[in-house]
Amino acid sequence: MPVNNINIIDIEASGLGFDSYPIEVAVLVEGKSKSWLIKPEPKWKHWDIAAENLHGITRGQLDADGLPAYEVADKLIKFIEESNGVLYSDAAYWDADWMDTLFIAVKQKRHFHIESIYELLDKQQSTEFDENKATLSKSGKYRFHRAEEDVKMILEAYQLTVG
């Protein structure tokens, strides 16, 4: 797979608990990125202040600026329809679970797959990728733990690793 054609997804969430939910999603497809804040569904109650301290997104900000879940799902589907249907993540288990939470809430089927970026890397490259991502996260170039910045950082770390 050419380095510049990798499609990436990143999600910020209300926390890491069983009842957490997505609050921001970003995707990078064919070199273009988009992100959306998600207004919590009425059943989505969990809020972890430690997670808020990481991503800096408040519940009030989501209520004021977030889009309804169904609208985010629709925009996401339209944005990635030109991709091959596979999005890579550095936290695939969590991101897939949060996408399932979103799509179940809006009663839609998710027609794309989330795979681990580590499946594209051998053991040495995985270590290099983690090191590159850590260096980039500390560089000040990206706002770490904001989804759109994270997809760009993940792509750059991947390019540095395999490029």
What does the pLDDT look like over 76-133, one tens digit per residue? 999 998 788 999 999 999 999 999 999 999 999 999 999 999 999 999 999 999 999 9
Residue of 110, 83, 86 lying closest to 98 (CA atoms): 110
Of 3.90.320.10, 3.40.50.720, 1.10.10.60, 3.30.420.10, the CATH number of 3-119 is 3.30.420.10
Domain boundaries, the chain: 3-119
Q: What is the side-by-side strand order in the sheet with 8-13?
A: 32-37, 22-29, 8-13, 86-89, 113-116
Q: Tens digits of per-residue pLDDT, 119-133? A: 999 999 999 999 999
Cα(102)–Cα(138) distance, rounded to whole angstroms? 31
